[in-house]
Amino acid sequence: MNERISNEKLRGKIMTADEAAALIPNGAQIGFGGFTGSGYPKELPQALANRIKAAHERGEEFTVNAFTGASTAPELDGALAGVDGMHYRMPYQSDPTLRKKINDGTTLYTDIHLSHSAQLVAEGFMGKLDFAVVEAVRITEDGNIVPTSSVGNNKTYLDMAEKIIIEVNSWQSPDLEGMHDIWNGYLTPPNRPIIPINNVGDRIGDTFLTIDSDKVVAVIETTDRDRNSPFKPIDDDSRAIAGYLLDFYANEVKHGRLPKNLLPLQSGVGNIPNAVLDGLLHSDLENLTSYTEVIQDGMVDLIDAGKLAVASATAFSLSPDYAHNMNENAKNYRKSIVLRPQEISNHPEVIRRLGVLSCNGMIEADIYGNVNSTHVMGTRMMNGIGGSGDFTRNAYISAFVSPSTAKDGAISAIVPMVSHVDHTEHDVMVIITEQGIADLRGLAPRLRAQKIIDNCVHPDFRAQLQEYFDHSLVTSKAKHTPHDLRHSYDWHLNFIENGTMKLSHYR
Amino acid sequence: MNERISNEKLRGKIMTADEAAALIPNGAQIGFGGFTGSGYPKELPQALANRIKAAHERGEEFTVNAFTGASTAPELDGALAGVDGMHYRMPYQSDPTLRKKINDGTTLYTDIHLSHSAQLVAEGFMGKLDFAVVEAVRITEDGNIVPTSSVGNNKTYLDMAEKIIIEVNSWQSPDLEGMHDIWNGYLTPPNRPIIPINNVGDRIGDTFLTIDSDKVVAVIETTDRDRNSPFKPIDDDSRAIAGYLLDFYANEVKHGRLPKNLLPLQSGVGNIPNAVLDGLLHSDLENLTSYTEVIQDGMVDLIDAGKLAVASATAFSLSPDYAHNMNENAKNYRKSIVLRPQEISNHPEVIRRLGVLSCNGMIEADIYGNVNSTHVMGTRMMNGIGGSGDFTRNAYISAFVSPSTAKDGAISAIVPMVSHVDHTEHDVMVIITEQGIADLRGLAPRLRAQKIIDNCVHPDFRAQLQEYFDHSLVTSKAKHTPHDLRHSYDWHLNFIENGTMKLSHYR
């Protein structure tokens, strides 16, 4: 008997993943758990993929519409996309197989702010949700669910779905119980209340997800680990960028515009954010807090060092060693980590109230401070906007970071005009590359342009970017935001045609 | 003796506008009252313009940096811009003279979300504010100020400025007192509290602006009226657009996705919003509410008809007849109208909580649902983003409206790629022209494109827009958001060069 399934009725629903997958018909809309490679169901999606593959081999149509928290892993997105089984997908992804299917036109993908996705489903805009498929640490005596390494949209999907499938995963530590904060008070307008979070660590709800156990059609027992990748060692560019950001914060503190312990930090996932966290670890800063989307290795280090007092997020995104450590010692981290539904972890109300300092990666920025987070060369979807819009738009100070070049120097991250806009000139306050930092706050467009050219662009591209700006100043009839629309995308077109953004001659 | 100035000490500061203007030096940073042609100081700015003009004639440098609530009027923006007296301006404007100076490069203008502007000043990002110049209905016994027909950023400017100049305007009705709701509890992080507004009409503050009377250096007595323009009669296109929006809302109600009395309405200023309000007036809807930026004629009609229970805004934007009526009958409207600081009227926390239905005008939208609200042909600033971002980004349902063509049919409001992005594909839910409506919620990019082409574009441009989309589908290597960057701006370039977006041939 599995001691993690304490409810008698639900124990009666135990079956194999294949048996559970057989319950799901062609065309089903499914809300999956999972956020940044954590806490996603691991066996049902693969069994479903097998079922879809078999149906296709028989010449039958079979696809599903998949909603998640954010990115999942090869066992979910990869498996379903690999058999052409995903007709529709929202709100965020990062799996290579799925990305390919999105960009070849097979899978329809809607790239939605992570804080918006639950609301769209809750109010019925997206149609009926047939299934919710989530992972649990355990099923309680009352038939409720203790979540695992992510919360994501699980609450909304469980509330809205007609049927529920639960994967009880015994790899996930039972000591995670108590770390989650599930608020059942958040309703749709006109009944939406104040979110009573005044401090990063405030707990306002339950430690479990309340479900209608009559809706549960299957319980699957699993032992699979979250599929996370190790971080790369911090490189020089990342360290330089982190240095500029921390110096900038230090200067704000010096001028009395930020408190000594800063304000709650948000950071995207990746090498540069990791370098920022490492920089904080080796700084004099103390009593830091983080109101963010995911808990990364560097935050755990900061907690261990006594520098990060409390962190709020919706999921872990840990390397294998750190995930192992968290499973072993979750009990000790429960006082300093809160995992919330992504609607709350990314909520504009709380982000604006707390005055979050945001820092996110980007694909490219332009001379006026518009940022592209999603589309390579304007057309190819990378991952999605994720929570970068939720945090940037409401941050006290918003920053975007990137190495100044990519593809061995063939691509400049600073371009005349971004080929897709995810964050507008109105929202982007600070841009940083390994070349330097541009604080754009309060600046009119022409001053922003010169500052970005002077401080952020790689020397290989500086002259040609200055040339674009100077030329636009002359040819543009209106001088507020000078552009030459005939040449705005010359760099991108040159890369598409000749493999480099470096122009042999201008115009 | 002016009975509107009850404070003895401040009565001693009464002087002429010319005398007050003489106190302002070259280079001063001034926070002016004023929002959409309401409640702006009317005599000091003109006196200052005269002073600047005289200085320039003597060969002396003299400019000021001007911060406001939003747009003002010829007596402020027009006067100062007309003498080349405005070096810097934020966060919104709509005066023709100032617009010309911005676009010829004379005045540096920063186009900022209206909800962000106070915070930037409060935290010191914008440098020291030398003067606040605001209009008052009266000065109280305690030396505090009753605002007039707008609140805007007055609270923040009065708090932050070193010196204060007050225009006491006896044209403004004393009965406006009691309509304003000035909350002094809103602080900068880490001390920012919950905003305790749960319903549109909730009052959470004082009816007056508390000031440090020691900072007052001048009081000017004026009798000038707000300079508002009459609305044009509702045209067929506006009526058609309003019809589509109201039918859309009715359908949402029918499907149980909106309550019967809808949700709090926000609407931009202009002929289409006026047509929407007129449509509501002639509908069966009752017990409506509005959480918006400005109170327009149509809202007053709705209040008079008993259909609009309560409206919250930061300013009036009334035609002359309606402004006269408001001045006569302000006492009766106080129970149904609340005027708040723009930081609160436009606050994401409250907008998201109440579930506002937003509706704003636009310059152009593209096939993927990106919206340009500010730049004609990508370079020429019209007015600014205003509050459209504050509301759109946090609305329960966001809509953008425009006639499908401009300039006698030479310009299409629906284009292959917008020449400037103010609202991204992630934020724009509904697009409406007189041709029809496109509900984009939850749709992947390619489906959005076909819906917009089918429903919203003018027949004169439909074939050439379909051709761009079809061609991009073929030529674009990635099919998620197909574009042909070589031809994305052909329409704009053709307009710049040949005066029309109609292409004689494609490519």
pLDDT digits (tens, 9 = 90+) for A263-306: 999 998 888 999 999 999 999 999 999 999 999 999 999 999 99
The answer to whether the Cβ–Cβ distance between A421 and B421 falls below 8 Å is yes
* SS3 label, residue A166: strand
Q: Return the H-helix or E-strand segment holding B157.
A: helix B154-160
Contacts 24+ apart (CB under 8 A), A281-286: A281/A305, A281/A307, A283/A246, A285/A260, A285/A261, A286/A261
The pLDDT of residue A506 is above 60: no
* Partners of residue A333 on adjacent β-strands: none
Which CATH superfamily includes the segment(s) A236-458? Glutaconate Coenzyme A-transferase (3.40.1080.10)
> Does this chain's domain A8-222 share its CATH topology with A236-458?
yes
Task: Return the sign of the alpha-carbon dihedral for residues B159, B161, B163, B168.
Answer: negative
Q: What is the pLDDT of residues A481-501, one digit of tens each?
A: 999 999 999 999 999 999 999
* pLDDT value for A227: 87
* pLDDT value for B505: 65
Q: What is the pLDDT of residues A320-370, one digit of tens each?
A: 999 999 999 999 999 999 999 999 999 999 999 999 999 999 999 999 999
* pLDDT value for B186: 93
Q: Are A337 and A311 in contact (CB under 8 A)?
A: yes
First to last CA, chain A: 74
Q: Which of B293, B343, B364, B434 is catalytic?
A: B293
> Can you give the residue ranges of every domain in chain B?
8-222, 236-458
Is the domain defined by A8-222 classed in CATH 3.40.50.300?
no
Q: In chain A, positions 260-299, which contact chain B (CB-CB < 8 Å)?
A: 263
Interface test with B, best of A123, A440, A498 (most B CBs within 10 A): A123
Q: What is the pLDDT of residues B48-82, one digit of tens each?
A: 999 999 999 999 999 999 999 999 999 999 999 99
Q: Are B296 and B338 in contact (CB under 8 A)?
A: no
Q: What is the pLDDT of residues A107-144, one digit of tens each?
A: 999 999 999 999 999 988 899 999 999 999 999 999 99
Interface test with B, best of A371, A388, A421, A507 (most B CBs within 10 A): A421
- What percent of chain A lies above the pLDDT cut of 90? 96
Give the predicted TM-score (pTM) of the model. 0.98
* pLDDT value for B400: 98
Report the residue of chain B nearest A115, measured CA to CA: B394
Q: In chain B, positions 60-119, which contact chain A (CB-CB < 8 Å)?
A: 88, 90, 102-105, 108-113, 116, 119
- Tokens linked to A429: 């306050």
What is the dihedral angle through the alpha carbons of A263, A268, A272, A274, rounded to the nearest 10 degrees? 70
Report the residue of chain B nearest A126, measured CA to CA: B442
* pLDDT value for A418: 98
What is the dihedral angle through the alpha carbons of A13, A14, A19, A21, rounded to the nearest 10 degrees? 80
- What percent of chain A lies above the pLDDT cut of 70? 99
Q: Are A37 and A70 in contact (CB under 8 A)?
A: no
The verdict on B194 touching A (C-beta cutoff 8 Å) is: yes
DSSP string, A77-132: IIHHHHTT-EEEEES----HHHHHHHHTTSSEE----HHHHHHHHHTTTT----EE
Q: Does A387 carry a binding-site annotation?
A: yes
The answer to whether the Cβ–Cβ distance between B347 and A347 falls below 8 Å is no
Which residues of chain B carry a pLDDT beneath 50?
507
* pLDDT value for A317: 95
**Nearest-by-Cβ selection for A259 from B190, B378, B476:** B190
The answer to whether the Cβ–Cβ distance between B478 and A421 falls below 8 Å is no
- Tokens linked to B79: 């006067």
* pLDDT value for B426: 98
* Partners of residue A67 on adjacent β-strands: A31, A90
Distance of CA A233 to CAs A239, A270, A275, B74, Å? 11, 11, 9, 60
Mean pLDDT for A216-225 is 98
The answer to whether the Cβ–Cβ distance between A442 and B90 falls below 8 Å is yes
Q: In chain A, positions 159-178, which contact chain B (CB-CB < 8 Å)?
A: none
Q: Are A469 and A368 in contact (CB under 8 A)?
A: no
Q: Say whether A43 is catalytic.
A: no
Residues in binding site of B for CoA? 363, 383, 387, 407
* pLDDT value for A1: 59
The verdict on B493 touching A (C-beta cutoff 8 Å) is: yes
Q: Return the H-helix or E-strand segment holding B491.
A: helix B490-498
Distance CA B426, CA B83 (A): 42
In chain A, residues with a C-beta closer than 8 Å to the C-beta of B349 are 348-349, 352-353
Q: Residue A243 has what DSSP assignment?
A: H
In chain A, residues with a C-beta closer than 8 Å to the C-beta of B266 are none
Distance CA B217, CA B133 (A): 10
CB atoms within 10 A of CB A125: 16
Q: Are A66 and A255 in contact (CB under 8 A)?
A: no
Q: What is the pLDDT of residues A52-78, one digit of tens each?
A: 999 999 999 999 999 999 999 999 999
* H-state helical runs in B255-341: 271-281, 297-304, 320-333
The answer to whether the Cβ–Cβ distance between A476 and B379 falls below 8 Å is yes
Interface test with B, best of A255, A349, A497 (most B CBs within 10 A): A349
ipTM over 0.95: yes
The verdict on B344 touching A (C-beta cutoff 8 Å) is: no
* pLDDT value for A456: 98
Q: How close is the nearest chain A Cα to the Cα of B465, in Å?
A: 18
Distance CA B155, CA B186 (A): 11
What is the dihedral angle through the alpha carbons of B362, B73, B267, B201, rounded to the nearest 10 degrees? 160
In chain B, residues with a C-beta closer than 8 Å to the C-beta of A90 are 442
Name the residue with tokens 């009036």.
B316
| Burial group, residue A457, by CB count within 10 angstroms (0-12, 13-18, 19+) | buried
* pLDDT value for B1: 59
* pLDDT value for A433: 98
The answer to whether the Cβ–Cβ distance between A108 and B444 falls below 8 Å is yes
